[in-house]
Amino acid sequence: MITIPKGTKDVLPAEAYKWHFVEDTARRIAALYDLKEIRTPVFEHTELFLRGVGDTTDIVNKEMYTFLDKGERSITLKPEGTAGVVRSFIENGLAGGVLPLKMYYLTPVFRYERPQAGRLREHHQFGVEIFGGKGAETDAEVILLARDYIRALGVEGVELHLNSIGCKHCRPKYNEALREYLRPHLAEMCPTCNARFEKNPLRILDCKEEKCAAINANAPQAADYLCDECREHFEKLRGILDACGVAYTLDPKLVRGLDYYSKTVFEFVSCSIGAQGTVLGGGRYDTLIENLGGPSVPAVGFGSGIERMLLVLENTGKNIPAAPRVCAYVAGLDEEGRKAAFALANELRGKGVSAQIDLAARSVKAQFKYAGKIGARYVVVIGADELASGRYTVKNMDDSSSVAVPAGEAAAWLAARA
């Protein structure tokens, strides 16, 4: 037997409605903020992620699904959504259109890592990107959208963590302060932190190794090294969030796991899914578009794992709205009744009413049993007696009541109750 690859998961028909709830909520909240959907390929040229995500990230160093295609080109399954959107923005000349450009996506992403709670080797993300907004208002809008999405799902017990990691002007000074602090401890730290020491010491603060985290606890904080512009930007953002009643925790160790961030970084963290509790994270990346060959356009965005959000909903006891029930099961009792059942089901579907018919030549009793299993609200019975009288028997499956409805009016009768 061929089995599913490790780190992947089937979404079965009985569970798909939960995904629909999360995805439909994402689309609805995105529409409230007038975001338009963008869809980019599942795979891109590997160079895009090497240049965009950064060579000091775990994603690039350890987790990418990279292969040579038949043309000997290096191709990578997308490990995150932002780089592909930036590539599309540049390639399609979208900077010449109306800015800010506000976009969202729902996409699979692929990372070769140890499968863990809510994070599989193939998982799915709801992502938001706003290109062309320089001020703190854009950061605030993205954070508020994220807050509204989490609220609309009914998720509770999630905290917003917030930090500023500076820009290309003030970051070098902070990086040097970090190196001075960390240099005496390098022998005690993990190989990954040692590799990051020269290239990007800021990423050391994101290390989850216990011994490294203990050393990082007393490291210098980025807030003490911000330039005037970054400090003003962060203070303005906090003022907007305060005015909107958004509670947050200042987290000086928050740096995010991707190299392209600058200024604002944020995460929404849940305590219900263990140590890896981030359910949504993002920030500002003002230099990424330019670094990938495009114009200088500021940008802010976030990504949120759908599997993780579903896990939070499950762990917090949130009742996801049930899948819609099929309105009518149309039971044909004989050959002529089956023809009439097909015709009525066809008419119902034309009116936007969900309907099922017998596809397995079941007996009358078996058809009623099947209708009960699938949760049909009504069963319409069409046999020789119904065809002779011109009136179909309609049974309400919730209260077991029955009514005879003229055949020509059956579709309208059911549509009025759908």
Residue 144: Cβ-neighbour burial (10 angstroms; 0-12, 13-18, 19+):
middle
In this structure, CATH architecture of domain 16-170+226-315: 2-Layer Sandwich (3.30)
Given this chain, do its domains 16-170+226-315 and 328-415 carry the same CATH topology? Answer: no
Within the chain, how many helices (H) and strands (E) appear? Answer: 15, 16
> Each residue of 230-245: pLDDT tens digit?
999 999 999 999 999 9
Query: Based on C-alpha coordinates, what's the Rg of the chain?
Result: 28
Confidence of residue 197 (pLDDT cuts 50, 70, 90): confident
Q: Write down the pLDDT at residue 118.
A: 66
CA–CA distance, 274 with 117 (Å, rounded to integer): 8
pLDDT digits (tens, 9 = 90+) for 256-266: 867 788 999 99
* The predicted structure's pLDDT at residue 275: 59
User: Residue 117 has what pLDDT?
Assistant: 66
CA distance 131 to 373: 49
User: Strand locations in 271-323, DSSP E?
Assistant: 278-284, 299-305
Res. 54: pLDDT tops 90: no
The H or E element that residue 239 is part of is helix 228-243
Binned at pLDDT 50, 70 and 90, residue 339 comes out as very high
Distance in angstroms (rounded) separating the CA atoms of residues 178 and 197: 9
Interval 247-270 mean pLDDT = 89
Give the β-pairing of 355-357 and 328-332.
Answer: parallel
**C-alpha span between 40 and 44 (Å, rounded):** 9
Question: Got the DSSP string for 193-206?
Answer: HHHHHHH-GGGGGG
- What average pLDDT does the structure give for the chain? 93
Residue 388 has pLDDT above 90, yes or no: yes
Would you place residue 7 in the very low, low, confident or very high pLDDT band (cuts 50, 70, 90)? very high
pLDDT at 56: 65
The C-alpha atoms of residue 357 and residue 242 are separated, in whole angstroms, by: 56
392 pLDDT above the threshold of 70: yes
412: part of which helix (H) or strand (E)? helix 410-415
Beta partners for residue 278, in sequence order? 269
Q: What share of the chain is helix, strand, coil (3-state, %, to 5)?
A: 40, 20, 35
CB atoms within 10 A of CB 72: 6
Report whether pLDDT(187) > 70: yes
**Per-residue pLDDT reduced to its tens digit, 102-156:** 999 999 999 998 877 667 999 999 999 999 999 999 999 999 999 999 999 999 8
Structure tokens that stand for 304 in this block: 């949120």
Maximum average pLDDT range among 157-171, 213-227, 249-263, 401-415: 401-415
Q: Taking residues 337-345, what's their average pLDDT?
A: 97
N-term to C-term CA, the chain: 43
How is the chain split into domains, by residue range?
16-170+226-315, 328-415
DSSP assignment letter at 44: E
Can you read off the two tokens belonging to residue 229? 């512009």
d(Cα 123, Cα 388) in Å, to the nearest integer? 56
Q: Which of 246, 242, 182 is nearest to 211 (CA)?
A: 182
- What DSSP state is assigned to residue 375? T
Question: Count of residues for the chain?
Answer: 418
Cβ neighbors of 292 (< 8 A, separation 6 or more) are 48, 51, 52, 83, 86, 87, 90
80: pLDDT strictly greater than 90: yes
Q: What percent of the chain has pLDDT over 90?
A: 78
Look at domain 328-415 and name its CATH class.
Answer: alpha beta
> Using CA atoms in the order 9, 10, 15, 18, what is the torsion angle rounded to 10 degrees?
60
Residue 353: the pLDDT is 97
- Please give the model's pTM, rounded to 2 decimal places: 0.90
Residue 379 has pLDDT above 80, yes or no: yes
Q: Is 252 or 92 the better-scoring residue by pLDDT? A: 92
